């Protein structure tokens, strides 16, 4: 194994921008993701989520269930090239039930684009995801979307960002025309205007015309004057972009878009290219940074099966943290010390994939049929390194799942194992219930819908789901198990990693049972090496 830094990495890593798009459901996240791909010329024509008429569905929503419901259920990876810059865009689920998948993605990016609905402003899921970025110190670019529809006043939206998030919004551009009458934007640096014009259905690039302030005033009259006065007010109050403050996550650049019309999307793409941070050293479990040009290391933040319907393969998504990745290199698996072959390495664009021969810090590599890898694993070359584990979520919903057809038991068990390894749900079992009636544990009930849908579509195993009345989970001990199992409204099961899990109907039931147990019998759901998020 080499321990010498690769000089080529010093040139390649600064070209990378790796970011995630986060939002509340229905803020237009998947539409924006697709619009960015369109502006980067990665696709020729945009589509709506439902693929109306002859238009195709969004490239990032590749699961059948996503396309049917019009929501993002799983994260997706898209790599775009803009001039000399490589942009790794990670689309995330917006629904709160899939927060854990979003948190995993946030661990792999250097920046986040927070998307707000112009009419609704900050919503509960947006607040939760922003807090995750704050904890990690992740810089955030704010995009106020749907300016083609009626919405709030722009100054009111910026006040809400400042008051509720405690971060200083600094507009890079400002809308000309009220929400619902989007004419274009003022560039805060030049004072000129970019005027937009529609294309049929928003399927192709919107027209963009740059005009100076005098021409803008002539064409747009009072709307231009209002926009100028509002932007001057913000400038005089010090709400101008400071790059160091942005990188320190103390301010957030703000842009305005109408993603469904492709208005303002080119401006966002340019902002990511110019302002998003380059890959930085990752800190290992001992608090030591691994330099970007150090020998190779990578972090597995997601595992996904079922992307290839023909082969039902399993893809581990790995963020390159340091050094150069070369297909075929033999890496060390930090958790086991065993060698790991990287013969089957691919770059992923939604569901489409192609072989990748090399990758650099910030890039995401799909390792195919990586059955030895799990979420949170580290791979490395040269000096050993292990990165901190990912945050874990405490489940709040539980249901027994059974196969409807006993002749499909083998397929049912294989599917359950796959869903468990991916982290779609957690799987709990007990001698009392038997291996054919595992308990699925989830953050939100929609995870059950995904699990049963995929069991049927990918493994041909139709299922029966029986919700359980439990709402709390805690780790427990072998000695406490008989006491807990003997109480109404409580039960002990075993997680597939061997952890004993006590389930309770509510906090009152848990506190009552706990009073009869030795101290230390009930612990947070996840072990000392994990971080629990509730």
pLDDT at 347: 83
For residues 211 and 167, what is the distance between their CA atoms, to the nearest angstrom? 32
Check which CATH number belongs to the domain holding 404 and give it.
Answer: 3.30.70.3280
**What mean pLDDT is predicted for residues 52-75?**
47
Question: At residue 61, does pLDDT exceed 70?
Answer: no
Domain check: are 291 and 270 in the same one? no
**What mean pLDDT is predicted for residues 366-383?**
91
**What mean pLDDT is predicted for residues 495-521?**
94
Q: Which of 457, 460, 463, 458 is nearest to 438 (CA)?
A: 463
pLDDT at 421: 80
Burial of 483: CB neighbours in 10 Å, binned 0-12, 13-18, 19+: middle
Q: Give the strand order in the sheet containing 439-442.
A: 463-467, 397-403, 439-442, 426-429, 490-495, 500-504, 472-475
Check which CATH number belongs to the domain holding 178 and give it.
Answer: 3.40.50.300
Interacting residues of 41 by C-beta distance below 8 A, sequence separation 6+: none
Domain check: are 257 and 135 in the same one? yes
Confidence of residue 336 (pLDDT cuts 50, 70, 90): very high
- Structural domain of residue 191, as residue ranges? 23-275
523: Cα separation from own chain's centroid: 29
DSSP 37: H
186 to 171, 210, 461: CA distances (angstroms): 10, 10, 55
**What mean pLDDT is predicted for residues 326-351?**
89
Hunting for tokens 């033999």 — which residue is that? 330
By residue count, the chain amounts to 534
What does pLDDT average to over the chain? Answer: 88
Domain check: are 346 and 409 in the same one? no
pLDDT tens digit string along 440-475? 999 888 889 889 998 998 889 999 999 999 999 999
Domain check: are 331 and 253 in the same one? no
pLDDT at 329: 95
For residues 361 and 13, the answer to whether their CB atoms sit within 8 Å is: yes
Three-state secondary structure string covering 468-516:
CCCCEEEECCCCCHHHHHCCCCEEEEEECCCCEEEEECCHHHHHHHHCC
* β-bridge mates for residue 81, sequence order: 86
Domain check: are 346 and 441 in the same one? no
CB atoms within 10 A of CB 445: 12
**What mean pLDDT is predicted for residues 16-41?**
90
**What mean pLDDT is predicted for residues 202-231?**
95
Rg (CA), the chain: 25
pLDDT at 454: 87
Residues making up the binding site for GTP: 91-95
DSSP string, 343-355: -SEEEEETTEEEE
pLDDT at 201: 76
Domain check: are 57 and 80 in the same one? yes
Residue 117 placed within a domain: yes
Share of the chain above pLDDT 90, in %: 65
The residue among 322, 347, 380 that closes a domain is: 380
Residue 484 placed within a domain: yes
369 to 305, 339, 344, 482: CA distances (angstroms): 9, 15, 8, 40
Question: At residue 55, does pLDDT exceed 70?
Answer: no
Q: Are strands 500-504 and 140-145 parallel, antiparallel or unpaired?
A: unpaired
Share of the chain above pLDDT 70, in %: 88
Domain check: are 320 and 253 in the same one? no
Number of domains in the chain: 3
Domain check: are 137 and 271 in the same one? yes
pLDDT at 306: 61
The residue among 247, 275, 303 that closes a domain is: 275
Check which CATH number belongs to the domain holding 361 and give it.
Answer: 2.40.30.10
Residue 519 placed within a domain: yes
For residues 509 and 516, what is the distance between their CA atoms, to the nearest angstrom? 12
Three-state secondary structure string covering 250-292:
CEEEEEECEHHHCECHHHHHHHHHHHCCCCCCEECCCCCEECC
Domain check: are 165 and 291 in the same one? no
pLDDT at 3: 56
- Of 48-52, 129-133, 312-316, highest mean pLDDT: 129-133
Residues making up the binding site: 91-95
Residue 7 placed within a domain: no
pLDDT at 50: 34
Residue 12 placed within a domain: no
The residue among 359, 380, 401 that closes a domain is: 380
pLDDT tens digit string along 242-260? 999 999 999 999 999 999 9
pLDDT at 62: 42
Domain check: are 143 and 260 in the same one? yes
Domain check: are 367 and 398 in the same one? no
pLDDT tens digit string along 117-160? 999 999 988 888 898 899 889 999 999 999 999 999 999 999 99
Q: Which of 450, 419, 426 is nearest to 312 (CA)?
A: 419
């Amino acid at each position: 194994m080499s321990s010498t830094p690769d000089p080529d990495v010093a040139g390649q890593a600064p070209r990378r921008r790796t970011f995630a798009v986060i939002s509340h459901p229905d803020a237009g996240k998947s539409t924006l993701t697709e619009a960015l791909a369109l502006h980067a010329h990665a696709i020729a024509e945009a589509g709506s989520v439902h693929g109306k008429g002859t238009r195709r569905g969004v490239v990032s929503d590749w699961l059948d269930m996503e396309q049917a419901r019009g929501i993002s259920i799983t994260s997706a990876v898209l790599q775009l090239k803009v001039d000399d810059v490589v942009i790794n865009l990670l689309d995330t689920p917006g629904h709160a039930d899939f927060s854990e998948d979003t948190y995993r993605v946030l661990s792999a990016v250097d920046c986040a684009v927070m998307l707000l609905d112009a009419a609704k402003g900050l919503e509960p899921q947006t607040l939760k995801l922003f807090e995750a970025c704050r904890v990690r110190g992740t810089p955030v670019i704010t995009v106020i979307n749907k300016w083609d529809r009626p919405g709030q006043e722009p100054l009111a939206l910026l006040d809400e960002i400042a008051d509720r998030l405690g971060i200083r919004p600094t507009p890079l551009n400002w809308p000309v025309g009220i929400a619902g009458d989007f004419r274009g934007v003022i560039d805060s640096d030049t004072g000129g205007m970019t005027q937009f014009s529609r294309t049929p259905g928003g399927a192709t690039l919107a027209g963009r015309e740059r005009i100076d302030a005098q021409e803008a005033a002539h064409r747009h009259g009072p709307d231009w004057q209002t926009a100028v006065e509002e932007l001057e007010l913000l400038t005089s109050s010090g709400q101008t972009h400071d790059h160091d403050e942005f990188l320190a996550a103390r301010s957030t650049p703000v842009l305005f878009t109408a993603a469904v019309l492709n208005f303002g999307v080119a401006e966002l793409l340019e902002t990511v290219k110019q302002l998003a941070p380059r890959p930085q050293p990752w800190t290992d479990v001992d608090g030591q940074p691994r330099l970007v040009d150090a020998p190779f290391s990578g972090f597995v933040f997601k595992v996904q099966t079922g992307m290839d319907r023909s082969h039902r393969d399993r893809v581990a998504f790995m963020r390159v943290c340091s050094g150069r990745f070369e297909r075929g290199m033999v890496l060390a698996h930090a958790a086991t010390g065993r060698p790991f072959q990287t013969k089957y390495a691919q770059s992923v664009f939604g569901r489409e994939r192609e072989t990748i021969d090399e990758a650099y810090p910030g890039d995401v590599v799909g390792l195919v049929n990586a059955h030895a890898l799990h979420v949170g694993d580290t791979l490395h070359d040269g000096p050993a390194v292990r990165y901190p584990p990912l945050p874990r979520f405490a489940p709040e919903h539980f249901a027994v799942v059974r196969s409807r057809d006993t002749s499909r038991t083998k397929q049912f068990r294989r599917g359950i194992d796959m869903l468990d390894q991916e982290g779609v749900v957690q799987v709990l079992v007990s001698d009392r219930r038997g291996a054919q009636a595992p308990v699925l544990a989830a953050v939100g009930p929609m995870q059950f819908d995904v699990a049963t849908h995929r069991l049927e579509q990918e493994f041909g195993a139709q299922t029966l789901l029986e919700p359980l009345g439990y709402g709390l989970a805690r780790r427990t001990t072998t000695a406490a198990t008989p006491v807990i199992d003997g109480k109404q409204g409580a039960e002990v099961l075993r997680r597939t990693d061997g952890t004993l899990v006590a389930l309770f109907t509510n906090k009152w039931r848990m506190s009552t049972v706990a009073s009869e147990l030795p101290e230390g019998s009930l612990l947070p759901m996840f072990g000392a090496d994990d971080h629990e998020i509730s």
